[in-house]
């Protein structure tokens, strides 16, 4: 499948590519933004390819929210990594949305799982899309990326809110795939909070609790060995986040890690006065960028 570049926008020292492609996983056209950092344009081609950070956005987002408001580009230029901003769901008139027409399910709210239920299983396969199809597609498009960017192996993942959940679950389910994982205000325990139970009930089935366990980070880390405490997870969440108590429950992941090989691996930072917005995210993007740059071998 080919990647179509709809626009190429100068941003910081590199270029933001706004792209569209057909997806096998979602059976729709998908939008994705890719930030190609300045090193792509200035450095000579070497065997050391530019690594990639995948950033999964939250409910209601398109690839543009984080591209415009997270300020990853500045950091990507400092360290020399590409950033991929996938969409949050399949789109289009033929894709089923939320029966209640709410923003927390359906279009803009794919939750990064593979749906198994009725009308959703056809298109809502965001897990396969984000962790498998999209990286392979990007890697294959050598005419665009000149084989100078590593989209498959030296890669890390981050996300916000629903996307923070997607980053945590994708990381824990693919420990050999990602070098590091971080999250901003993530939904850490979707099986017990309203956004998560609605999404898991709708996409995976109300009674399929074993399927829910396959995606819930609090269950996954109990069932996933962190060899020699190799992996660390960085999390920031603000005390003024309106979703903190009801939807995010960051303390649940620390509790779940107790007595497991993840006990000392969760770096949870509760930051005073910050809310759920991109003002919060962009404030801590520099810390997350440095964390990922270390794990990607850039510093």
Contact code string over 248-287 relative to ligand LAXINWYW, x by CB under 6 A: ----------------------------xxx---------
Q: Which is nearer to ligand LAXINWYW, 231 or 284 (CB)?
A: 284
Q: How many chain residues bind ligand LAXINWYW (CB under 6 A)?
A: 12
User: With binding defined as CB under 6 A, does residue 113 bind ligand LAXINWYW?
Assistant: no
Are residues 35 and 70 in contact, defined by beta-carbon separation less than 8 angstroms? no
Helix/strand/coil (H/E/C) assignment for every residue in the chain: CCCEEEEEEEECCEEEEEEEEECCCCCCEEEEEEEECHHHHHCCCCCCCECEEEEECCCCCCHHHHHHHCCHHHHHHHHCCEEEEECCCCCCCCCCCCCCCCCCCECCECCCCECCCHHHCCCCEHHHHHHHHHHHHHHHCHHHHCCCECCCCCEEEEEECHHHHHHHHHHHHCCCCEEEEEEECCCCCHHHCHHHHHHHHHHHCCCCHHHHHCCCHHHHHHHCCCHHHCCCEEEEEECCCCCHHHHHCCHHHHHHHCCCCCCCCEEEEEECCCCCCHHHHHHHHHHHHHHHHHHCCCC
Q: Which is nearer to ligand LAXINWYW, 162 or 221 (CB)?
A: 162
Name residues whose C-beta falls within 8 Å of residue 259's C-beta, 6 or more positions apart in sequence.
none
Strand pairing of 155-160 and 52-56?
Answer: parallel
* Catalytic residue from among 241, 288, 292, 295: 241
Residue 102: active-site member:
no
User: With binding defined as CB under 6 A, does residue 67 bind ligand LAXINWYW?
Assistant: no
User: With binding defined as CB under 6 A, does residue 130 bind ligand LAXINWYW?
Assistant: no
> Within positions 36 to 65, which residues make up the interface with ligand LAXINWYW, using CB under 6 A?
58-61, 65
Residue 241: active-site member:
yes
| Least separation in angstroms between CB 158 and ligand LAXINWYW | 13
With CB under 6 A as the contact rule, the residue among 41, 103, 119, 299 that binds ligand LAXINWYW is 103
User: With binding defined as CB under 6 A, does residue 189 bind ligand LAXINWYW?
Assistant: no
| Least separation in angstroms between CB 81 and ligand LAXINWYW | 22
Residue 272: active-site member:
no
* Catalytic residue from among 131, 160, 236, 276: 276
| Least separation in angstroms between CB 111 and ligand LAXINWYW | 9
User: With binding defined as CB under 6 A, does residue 162 bind ligand LAXINWYW?
Assistant: yes
Chain residues binding ligand LAXINWYW by CB under 6 A are 58-61, 65, 103, 160-162, 276-278
Active-site positions read 161, 241, 276
């Amino acid at each position: 499948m080919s990647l179509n570049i709809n626009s190429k926008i100068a941003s910081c020292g590199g270029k933001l590519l706004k792209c569209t492609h057909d997806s096998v996983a979602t059976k729709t056209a998908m939008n994705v933004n890719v930030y190609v950092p300045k090193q792509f344009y200035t450095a000579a081609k070497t065997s050391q390819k530019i690594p990639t950070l995948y950033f999964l956005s939250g409910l209601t987002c398109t690839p543009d929210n984080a591209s415009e408001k997270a300020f990853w580009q500045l950091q990507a230029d400092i360290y020399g990594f590409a950033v991929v901003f996938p969409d949050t769901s399949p789109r289009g008139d033929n894709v089923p949305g939320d029966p209640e027409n709410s923003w927390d399910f359906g279009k803009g709210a794919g939750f990064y799982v593979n749906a198994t239920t009725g009308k959703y299983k056809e298109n809502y396969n965001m897990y396969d899309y984000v962790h498998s199809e999209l990286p392979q597609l990007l890697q294959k498009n050598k005419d665009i990326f000149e084989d100078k960017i590593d989209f498959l192996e030296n890669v890390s993942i981050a996300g916000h809110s629903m996307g923070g959940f997607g980053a945590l679950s994708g990381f824990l389910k693919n420990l050999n795939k990602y070098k590091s994982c971080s999250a901003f205000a993530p939904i850490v325990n979707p099986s017990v909070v309203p956004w998560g139970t609605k999404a898991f009930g709708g996409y995976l089935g109300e009674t399929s609790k074993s399927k829910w366990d396959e995606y819930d980070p609090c269950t996954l880390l109990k069932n996933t060995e962190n060899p020699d405490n190799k992996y660390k997870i960085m999390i920031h969440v603000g005390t003024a986040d309106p979703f903190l108590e009801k939807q995010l429950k960051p303390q649940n992941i620390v509790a779940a890690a107790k007595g497991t090989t993840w006990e000392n691996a969760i770096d949870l930072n509760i930051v005073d006065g910050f809310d759920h917005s991109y003002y919060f995210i962009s404030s801590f993007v520099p810390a997350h960028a440095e964390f990922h740059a270390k794990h990607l071998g850039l510093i």
